[in-house]
A and B are shown apart, each in its own frame.
Chain A
Amino acid sequence: MPEGDTGGEPMNLRTPLGDEVLSLRAGDQVLLSGIIYTARDEAHLKMMDDGIPFDPQGAAIYHCGPVIQGEQIIAAGPTTSARMNKISGFLLDSGVRCLIGKGGMDSGVRDALRDRAVYLAFTGGCAALAASHMKLHGVHYSDLGMAEAIWVIEVIDLPLVVGIDAHGGDLFSKIGDRAAMRFEEWKKGMQPEG
Chain B
Amino acid sequence: MDAHGVETLRKAVTDATIACIHDAEVFLPPDVKEAIDASYNAETDPVARGELENIRSNIQIAERLDLPLCQDTGITVIYVTVPADFPVSREEISSAIREGVRKATDTVPLRPNAVDPLTRENSGDNTGFEIPPIHFSEGSELAITVLPKGAGSENVSRIGMLLPSEAGKVTSFIVETVLLAGGRPCPPIVVGVGIGGTFDLAATMAKEALLLPIETMDAFESEICDAINNLGIGPMGLGGDTTALAVKVKKAHCHTASLPVAVNIQCWACRRATRVVNL
**A residues whose Cβ falls under 8 Å from a Cβ of B:** 1-2, 5, 7, 27, 29, 64-67, 69, 74-77, 79-80, 82, 102-104, 121, 123-129, 131-132, 145-147, 159, 161, 163, 171-172, 174-176, 178-180, 182-183, 186-187, 190, 192-194
Given A67-B111, A102-B183, the answer on whether A183 and B176 have CB atoms closer than 8 Å is: yes
When chains A and B are docked, how far (Å) is the Cα of A63 from the Cα of B192? 27
Q: Are A179 and B54 in contact (CB under 8 A)?
A: no
B168: contacting residue among A1, A5, A146, A194, CB under 8 A: A194
- Asked if A179 and B69 sit within 8 Å, CB to CB, the answer is no
A74 CA to B233 CA, complexed, in Å: 30
Q: Is the CB of A125 within 8 A of B267?
A: yes
**Closest residue on chain A to residue B61 by CB atoms:** A128
Of A77, A126, A146, A194, most buried by chain B (CB within 10 Å of CB) is: A126
Nearest residue in A to B68 (C-beta to C-beta)?
Answer: A75
Cβ 8 A contact of B46, one of A1, A77, A125, A129: A1
13 A-B pairs, CB-CB below 8 angstroms?
A1-B46, A7-B46, A27-B47, A74-B71, A75-B68, A80-B184, A123-B51, A123-B236, A124-B268, A125-B58, A125-B150, A146-B112, A175-B234
Q: Does B237 count as interface, using CB distance less than 8 angstroms?
A: yes
Chain A residue with the shortest CB-CB distance to B110: A67
A175: nearest residue on chain B (CB-CB)?
Answer: B239
Known contacts A2-B45, A125-B69, A193-B168; is A182 also within 8 Å of B186 by CB?
no
Known: A67-B111, A190-B171, A192-B168. A121 touches B68 (CB 8 A): no
B71 pairs with A103, CB closer than 8 A? no
Whether a CB of chain A sits under 8 angstroms from the CB of B118 is no
- On whether the beta carbons of A5 and B58 are closer than 8 Å, the reply is no
Q: How far is the CB of A145 from chain B (nearest CB, A)?
A: 5
Q: State whether B58 touches A123 (Cβ < 8 A).
A: yes
8 Å CB contact of B186 from A82, A125, A128, A145: A125
Cβ proximity bits B95-128 to A, threshold 8 Å, 1 near / 0 not = 0000000000000011111000000001000000
Q: Which residues of chain B come closer than 8 Å to A125, judged between CB atoms?
A: 55, 58, 69-70, 72, 150, 186, 267-269
The minimal Cβ–Cβ distance linking A98 to chain B, given in whole angstroms, is 17
Interface-facing stretch out of B7-15, B78-86, B224-232: B224-232
Tell me if B165 counts as interface (CB < 8 A to partner A). yes
Q: Are A147 and B111 in contact (CB under 8 A)?
A: yes
Question: B195-247: which have CB < 8 Å to A?
Answer: 227, 230-239
Q: Are the CB atoms of B179 and A124 closer together than 8 Å? A: no
Distance A176 CA – B184 CA, assembled complex (angstroms)? 11
Q: How far is the CA of A176 from the CA of B45 in the complex (A)?
A: 16
Residues of A within 8 A of B65 (CB): 128, 132
Name B58's contact: one of A1, A74, A128 (CB within 8 Å): A128
The residues of A that contact B232 with a CB separation of less than 8 Å are: 175, 178-179, 182
Give the residue among A27, A127, A186 with the most B Cβ atoms within 10 A. A127
B152 at interface (Cβ–Cβ under 8 A)? Answer: yes
Is the Cβ of A76 less than 8 Å from the Cβ of B182? no
Which of B109, B155, B231 is the one whose CB lies under 8 Å from A74? B109
A181 to chain B, nearest CB (A): 10
Identify A123's interface contact among B55, B111, B171, CB under 8 A. B55
Q: How far is the CA of A172 from the CA of B187 in the complex (A)?
A: 13
Given A129-B61, A145-B112, do A161 and B55 touch, yes or no (CB 8 Å)?
Answer: no
Closest to B65 in A: A128
Q: Per-residue 0/1 for B139-173: is the Cβ within 8 Å of any A Cβ (1 yes, 0 no)?
A: 00000000000111001000000000111100110
Q: Within the complex, which residue of A66, A175, A194 is in contact with B233, where a contact is CB–CB below 8 Å?
A: A175
Nearest to A81 among chain B residues (CB) is: B184
Q: Which residues of A contact B176 (CB under 8 A)?
A: 183
- Considering the chains assembled together, what is the distance between the CA atoms of A31 and B93 in angstroms? 49
- Closest A residue to B25 by beta carbon equals A75
Given A67-B73, A175-B234, A175-B237: A103 in contact with B267 (beta carbons within 8 A): no
Do residues B238 and A163 form an inter-chain contact, with CB atoms below 8 A? yes
**The one of B45, B113, B234, B267 that contacts A124, using a Cβ cutoff of 8 Å:** B267
Interface check B62, CB cutoff 8 A: yes
